[in-house]
Amino acid sequence: MIGDVWAYLTAAGSWQGSNGFAVRIFEHLQYVAGALLVAFLIAFPLGLLIGHTNKGVTVAVNAVNASRSLPSLGLLTLVVLVSGLGRAPVLVALTVLAIPPILNATYAGVRGVDKGAVNAARGMGMTELQVLWQVELPVALPLVWSGIRSATLQTVATATIAAYVALGGLGRYVIDGFAVREFDEMLAGAALVSLLAIVLDLVLALATRVSVSPGLREPRKQRRTSPLKRLAPGNQSTATAAG
Amino acid sequence: MDWGWIVDNRDLILELLIEHIWLSAIPVVIGLAVALVLGVLAHTYRWAYPPLLVVVGVLYTIPSLALFIVLPVVLGTQILNPLNILIALTIYSGALLVRTVVDGLDAVPPAVRKAAEGLGYKRLTRIVTVELPIAIPVIVAGLRVVTVANISMVSVGALIGIGGLGELFTSGFQIRFVTEIIVGLVLSLLLAVTADLLLVFLQRKTTPWDRLGATA
Instruction: Indicate the burial class of B25 (C-beta count within 10 angstroms; 0-12, 13-18, 19 or more).
Output: middle
Torsion-angle region of A181 (φ positive above 0: left; ψ -120 to 50: alpha; else: beta): left
Torsion-angle region of B213 (φ positive above 0: left; ψ -120 to 50: alpha; else: beta): alpha
Number of domains in chain B: 1
Please tell me which residue of chain A has the smallest CA distance to B109. Answer: A226
B66 chain-A contacts, CB cut-off 8 A: 160, 174, 189-191, 193-194
- Where residue B71 sits, what CATH number does that domain have? 1.10.3720.10
Touching check for A95 and chain B: CB below 8 Å? no
Rg over alpha carbons for chain B, rounded to the nearest Å, is: 20
Please tell me which residue of chain A has the smallest CA distance to B190. Answer: A69
Question: Is the model's pTM score more than 0.90?
Answer: no
Which residue from B66, B151, B172 is facing A77, i.e. has the nearest CB? B172
Candidates B2, B28, B62, B140: best to mutate against A (most CBs of A within 10 A) is B62
Is the Cα dihedral A239, B185, B157, B154 positive or negative?
A: positive
What is the distance in angstroms between the Cα of B42 and the nearest Cα belonging to chain A? 16
Q: Is residue B192 part of a domain?
A: yes
What is the distance in angstroms between the Cα of B159 and the nearest Cα belonging to chain A? 7
B35 chain-A contacts, CB cut-off 8 A: none
What is the distance in angstroms between the Cα of B153 and the nearest Cα belonging to chain A? 6
CB B79 within 8 A of CB A185: no
Please tell me which residue of chain A has the smallest CA distance to B168. Answer: A74
**Could you read off the pLDDT tens digit of each residue along chain A, which spans 243 residues?**
677 778 778 777 778 777 788 899 999 999 999 999 999 999 999 999 999 998 888 888 887 777 778 899 999 999 999 988 778 889 999 999 999 999 989 998 999 898 999 999 999 999 999 999 999 999 999 999 999 999 999 999 999 999 998 778 899 999 998 888 888 888 899 999 999 999 999 999 999 999 888 877 755 544 455 666 655 544 444 444 444
Residues B189, A69: Cα–Cα separation, whole Å: 6
Which residue from A187, A231, A243 is facing B153, i.e. has the nearest CB? A243
CB A113 within 8 A of CB A91: no
Q: Is residue B213 part of a domain?
A: no
Candidates A231, A235, A238: best to mutate against B (most CBs of B within 10 A) is A231
Q: What is the pLDDT of residues B181-197, one digit of tens each?
A: 999 999 999 999 999 99
Residues B40, B56: Cα–Cα separation, whole Å: 15
Which residue from B63, B73, B189 is facing A157, i.e. has the nearest CB? B63
Q: Is residue B215 part of a domain?
A: no
B17 chain-A contacts, CB cut-off 8 A: none
pLDDT at A1: 67
Q: Is residue B7 part of a domain?
A: yes
What confidence tier does B212 reach under pLDDT thresholds 50, 70, 90? low
Q: Do B153 and A161 touch (CB under 8 A)?
A: no
The domain in which residue B89 lies consists of 3-208
pLDDT at A238: 43
Q: Is residue B138 part of a domain?
A: yes
Q: Do B188 and A82 touch (CB under 8 A)?
A: no
Touching check for A129 and chain B: CB below 8 Å? no
DSSP state for residue A135 in the 8-state scheme = I
pLDDT at A222: 47
Q: Do A81 and B176 touch (CB under 8 A)?
A: yes
Which residue from B62, B65, B154 is facing A171, i.e. has the nearest CB? B65
Mean pLDDT calculated for residue range B59-81 = 88
What is the distance in angstroms between the Cα of B169 and the nearest Cα belonging to chain A? 6
Which residue from B61, B138, B178 is facing A228, i.e. has the nearest CB? B138
Mean pLDDT calculated for residue range B116-139 = 92
Range 190-229 of A in CB contact (< 8 A) with B: 190-191, 193-194, 197-198, 201, 226-228
Q: Which helix (H) or strand (E) holds A138?
A: helix A137-161
Which residue from B137, B141, B181 is facing A74, i.e. has the nearest CB? B181
> Higher pLDDT residue, B2 or B184?
B184
Instruction: Indicate the burial class of A102 (C-beta count within 10 angstroms; 0-12, 13-18, 19 or more).
Output: buried
pLDDT at A243: 47
B188 chain-A contacts, CB cut-off 8 A: 69-71, 74
What confidence tier does B214 reach under pLDDT thresholds 50, 70, 90? very low
Instruction: Compute CA B80 distance to the chain's CA centroid, rounded to the nearest angstrom.
Output: 22
Q: Is residue B66 part of a domain?
A: yes
Residues A115, A34: Cα–Cα separation, whole Å: 36
Which residue from A187, A194, A236 is facing B73, i.e. has the nearest CB? A187
pLDDT at A237: 42
Cβ contacts of A122 within 8 Å, gap of 6 or more: A131
What is the distance in angstroms between the Cα of B60 and the nearest Cα belonging to chain A? 6
Q: Residues of chain B with pLDDT > 90: what percent? A: 76
Lowest-confidence pick of A220-224, B11-15, B35-39, B114-118? A220-224
Mean pLDDT calculated for residue range B187-209 = 91
Q: Is residue B53 part of a domain?
A: yes
Residue B122 has phi, psi (to 5 degrees) of: -75, 165
Instruction: Compute CA B62 distance to the chain's CA centroid, rounded to the nearest angstrom.
Output: 16
CB A94 within 8 A of CB A159: yes
Q: Do B152 and A72 touch (CB under 8 A)?
A: yes
Q: Is residue B214 part of a domain?
A: no
pLDDT at A47: 93
Q: What is the pLDDT of residues B149-183, one digit of tens each?
A: 999 999 999 998 888 999 999 999 999 999 999 99
pLDDT at A227: 61
